[in-house]
Structure 1
Amino acid sequence: MEECNNYGHQHPLLLMLNQEQLINYGSGIADCSRCGEKVSAPCFCCAEHCGFYLHKVCAEAPLELNHPFHPHHPLLLIQNAPYLDGEYVCTFCRQDGNKSLYHCSCELDFHIKCALFTFNIAENNLKELEHVSLQDPSISTKSGDEELDDVAKCFWCWESLANYTHFSPNCGFNLHKKCAMLPLKLNHVCHRKHPLVLQFNCVPLPCKICQKTDQSGIGFVYSCSPCKFSIHIECVSPSPISEDKSHQHPFSLILRQPPSICDACGTEGNHAAYACCTCNIMVHKKCISLPRIIKSRWHHHRVSHTYFLHKEHFERLDCMICHNEVKTEYGSYYCADCNVILHVNCATRDPDFFYVVSSENEDEKPLDISLNSNTNVLERNDAGEGTIIEHFKHNHYLTLSDNIREYGDKCCDGCMLLISDSFYYCSECEFFLHKACAELPKMKPIWHHLCQLATLVLTSDNIFRCEICDFLSSGFAYKCNECGGHMCLRCASLIPDALTCPGHEHPLLYYFDFNGRCSACGGAINRAFSCKDCNYSVDSYCLLLPTRARHKCDEHLLALTYHDINDYSKHHYCDICERKRDPKRWFYHCTTCDTSAHVKCALGEHPFIKSGSIYKKGYHPHPLTFIKKIKHYPACTKCGEPCEKLALECAEPDCNYLVHWKCMNPYGSEYGFLEDKDF
Structure 2
Amino acid sequence: MEELKNYGHQHPLLMLNEEQLLGNGNGVVDCSRCGEKVSAPCFSCVECCGFYLHRICAEAPLELNHPFHRHHPLLLLQNPPYTSDTRCVCDFCNEACEKFIYHCSCGLDFHIKCALFTFNIAERNLKELEHVALEDPSFSSKNDGGNLGKCFACWEPLAIDTYFSLDCGFNLHKKCAELPPKMGHVCHRKHPLLLQFNSERLSCKICQVTQQRGFLYGCSTCNLAIHIDCLSPLPVIEDKSHQHPFTLIWRQIPFICDACGTEGHHVAYECCTCSIMVHKKCISLPRILQHSFHVHRVFHTYFIHKEYFESLNCIMCHEVVDTEHGSYFCADCNVIFHVDCALKEKEMYCIVSQENEDDKSLDIPVNSITKVLETNDAGEATLIEHCKHKHYLMLSDKISEHGDKCYDGCLLLISAKFYHCSRCDFFLHKSCAELPKMDLTWSHCCDEKPFSGPKPCILTSDCMFQCGLCRYLSNGFSYKCNECGIHTCLRCFAICLQNAVKIPGHKHPLLLYYDYKEQCSGCGGDILGANRCKDCNFNLCHLCVIRPTRVRHKCDKHILALTYDKVNDYAKYHYCDICEKERDPKYWFYHCETCDTPVHVNCVLGEYSFIKLGSTYNEGNHEHPLAFVKKIHYYPKCVKCDKPCEDLSLECAEPGCNYVAHWKCRY
Q: Same fold (TM over 0.5)?
A: yes
Per-residue CA distance 1:100-137 (angstroms, 9 max, x = gap) = 22222333222222222121111111223223332125
Aligned with residue 548 of structure 1, among 547, 550, 564: 550
Alignment correspondent of 2:102: 102
CA distance in structure 2 between the aligned counterparts of 1:558 and 1:332, rounded to whole angstroms: 47
Per-residue CA distance 1:225-244 (angstroms, 9 max, x = gap) = 34221111221211111222
CA distance in structure 2 between the aligned counterparts of 1:486 and 1:162, rounded to whole angstroms: 49
Mapped contact 2:442–2:454 kept (Cα < 8 A):
no
Per-residue CA distance 1:278-318 (angstroms, 9 max, x = gap) = 22221122222233333333344433333333333334433
Structure 2 residue 273 is the aligned partner of structure 1 residue 272: no
Mapped contact 2:148–2:171 kept (Cα < 8 A):
no
Mapped contact 1:45–1:52 kept (Cα < 8 A):
yes
SS at match of 1:445: strand
- Kindly state the Cα deviation for residue 401 of structure 1 after the two structures are TM-superposed: 4.2
- Alignment CA distance shift 1:267-1:37 (3 Å): closer
Per-residue CA distance 1:501-528 (angstroms, 9 max, x = gap) = 2233333333334354444334444433
- Kindly state the Cα deviation for residue 68 of structure 1 after the two structures are TM-superposed: 1.6
CA distance in structure 1 between the aligned counterparts of 2:567 and 2:463, rounded to whole angstroms: 42
Alignment correspondent of 2:468: 467
CA distance in structure 1 between the aligned counterparts of 2:623 and 2:173, rounded to whole angstroms: 67
1:365-444 mapped onto 2 (5 Å cutoff):
365-367=360-362, 370-371=365-366, 373-374=368-369, 377=371, 380=374, 385=381, 387=383, 389=385, 391-392=387-388, 396-402=390-396, 403-425=398-420, 431-444=426-439
Higher strand share: 2
Mapped contact 2:420–2:428 kept (Cα < 8 A):
yes
Per-residue CA distance 1:451-489 (angstroms, 9 max, x = gap) = 522413334454433332232223233333445433221
Mapped contact 1:75–1:102 kept (Cα < 8 A):
yes
Structure 2 residue 321 is the aligned partner of structure 1 residue 322: no
RMSD: 3.4
| Counterpart residue identity of residue 478, structure 1 | Y
Alignment correspondent of 1:673: none
CA distance in structure 2 between the aligned counterparts of 1:191 and 1:63, rounded to whole angstroms: 36
CA distance in structure 2 between the aligned counterparts of 1:48 and 1:524, rounded to whole angstroms: 59
1:250-261 mapped onto 2 (5 Å cutoff):
250-261=245-256
- Kindly state the Cα deviation for residue 546 of structure 1 after the two structures are TM-superposed: 0.9
Mapped contact 1:471–1:606 kept (Cα < 8 A):
yes
Name which of structure 1's ranges 280-289 and 553-562 shifts more when overlaid on structure 2: 553-562
| Counterpart residue identity of residue 399, structure 1 | L
Structure 2 residue 453 is the aligned partner of structure 1 residue 476: no
Per-residue CA distance 1:406-444 (angstroms, 9 max, x = gap) = 333222232221234454555665654334434533432
CA distance in structure 2 between the aligned counterparts of 1:87 and 1:299, rounded to whole angstroms: 40
- Kindly state the Cα deviation for residue 572 of structure 1 after the two structures are TM-superposed: 5.1
SS at match of 1:493: helix
Alignment correspondent of 2:171: 174
- Kindly state the Cα deviation for residue 547 of structure 1 after the two structures are TM-superposed: 1.9
Per-residue CA distance 1:175-218 (angstroms, 9 max, x = gap) = 1111111122222222223222222234322211212223xx23
- Kindly state the Cα deviation for residue 532 of structure 1 after the two structures are TM-superposed: 3.3
Alignment correspondent of 1:668: none
* TM-score calculated relative to the size of structure 1: 0.86
CA distance in structure 2 between the aligned counterparts of 1:424 and 1:304, rounded to whole angstroms: 40
Alignment correspondent of 1:509: 511
CA distance in structure 1 between the aligned counterparts of 2:213 and 2:665, rounded to whole angstroms: 51
Aligned with residue 206 of structure 1, among 203, 206, 222: 203
CA distance in structure 2 between the aligned counterparts of 1:96 and 1:568, rounded to whole angstroms: 57
- Kindly state the Cα deviation for residue 62 of structure 1 after the two structures are TM-superposed: 1.4
Alignment correspondent of 2:648: 646
| Counterpart residue identity of residue 113, structure 2 | K
- Alignment CA distance shift 1:11-1:413 (3 Å): same
- Kindly state the Cα deviation for residue 656 of structure 1 after the two structures are TM-superposed: 6.1
- Alignment CA distance shift 1:131-1:531 (3 Å): closer
CA distance in structure 2 between the aligned counterparts of 1:306 and 1:91, rounded to whole angstroms: 40
- Alignment CA distance shift 1:603-1:166 (3 Å): same
Alignment correspondent of 1:676: none
| Counterpart residue identity of residue 493, structure 2 | A
- Alignment CA distance shift 1:368-1:416 (3 Å): farther
Mapped contact 2:366–2:438 kept (Cα < 8 A):
no
SS at match of 2:561: strand
Mapped contact 1:573–1:580 kept (Cα < 8 A):
yes
Alignment correspondent of 2:44: 45
- Alignment CA distance shift 1:139-1:37 (3 Å): closer
Mapped contact 1:150–1:161 kept (Cα < 8 A):
no
Alignment correspondent of 1:334: 329
Alignment correspondent of 2:79: 80
Per-residue CA distance 1:386-406 (angstroms, 9 max, x = gap) = 8363535x6x43533424333
Question: What percentage of aligned pairs have identical amino acids?
Answer: 63
CA distance in structure 2 between the aligned counterparts of 1:56 and 1:620, rounded to whole angstroms: 80
Aligned with residue 188 of structure 1, among 182, 185, 188: 185
Aligned with residue 528 of structure 1, among 522, 530, 540: 530
CA distance in structure 2 between the aligned counterparts of 1:276 and 1:378, rounded to whole angstroms: 55
Aligned with residue 230 of structure 1, among 206, 212, 225: 225
- Kindly state the Cα deviation for residue 550 of structure 1 after the two structures are TM-superposed: 0.9
Alignment correspondent of 1:28: 27
Name which of structure 1's ranges 201-210 and 582-591 shifts more when overlaid on structure 2: 582-591
CA distance in structure 2 between the aligned counterparts of 1:160 and 1:541, rounded to whole angstroms: 46
Aligned with residue 156 of structure 2, among 156, 159, 163: 159
- Alignment CA distance shift 1:589-1:114 (3 Å): same
CA distance in structure 1 between the aligned counterparts of 2:487 and 2:309, rounded to whole angstroms: 37
Mapped contact 1:388–1:397 kept (Cα < 8 A):
no
| Counterpart residue identity of residue 110, structure 1 | F
CA distance in structure 1 between the aligned counterparts of 2:203 and 2:110, rounded to whole angstroms: 24
CA distance in structure 2 between the aligned counterparts of 1:348 and 1:235, rounded to whole angstroms: 22
CA distance in structure 2 between the aligned counterparts of 1:378 and 1:526, rounded to whole angstroms: 41
CA distance in structure 1 between the aligned counterparts of 2:6 and 2:281, rounded to whole angstroms: 57
CA distance in structure 1 between the aligned counterparts of 2:570 and 2:6, rounded to whole angstroms: 83
- Kindly state the Cα deviation for residue 447 of structure 1 after the two structures are TM-superposed: 3.2
Structure 2 residue 306 is the aligned partner of structure 1 residue 311: yes
Mapped contact 2:132–2:163 kept (Cα < 8 A):
no
- Alignment CA distance shift 1:427-1:243 (3 Å): same
CA distance in structure 2 between the aligned counterparts of 1:621 and 1:30, rounded to whole angstroms: 73
- Where structure 2 has 5 or more consecutive residues not aligned to the other structure, the ranges are none
